[in-house]
Amino acid sequence: MEQLIETIVKPLVDYPADVRVDKEEQNHRVAYKLSVNPEDIGKVIGKQGRVAKAIRTIVYSAAGSHQGKKIYLDIVD
């Protein structure tokens, strides 16, 4: 899943080398923390959050049930 997120985000940003995805797994949830260069945060979020919502939709769809765990994608600054 980390590779999918990176594949989606890297073409959107000016500093693809700064894209990092960390995974935090708990009992009933898996949280992916996406961090990008501060100059690229607006490009990843998009106007009114449209790009972020689209990325989340793709990630959630690709995850499917994921062993009964809820998947979250957080964009951190």
Looking at the domain covering 2-76, what would its CATH class be? Answer: alpha beta
What is the residue whose two structure tokens read 């894209």? 19
**pLDDT tens-digit profile of 3-27?**
999 999 999 999 999 999 999 998 8
Q: What is the pLDDT of residues 39-54, one digit of tens each?
A: 999 999 999 999 999 9
Cα(4)–Cα(48) distance, integer angstroms: 23
Q: How far apart are CA 32 and CA 21, in angstroms?
A: 6
pTM comes to 0.88
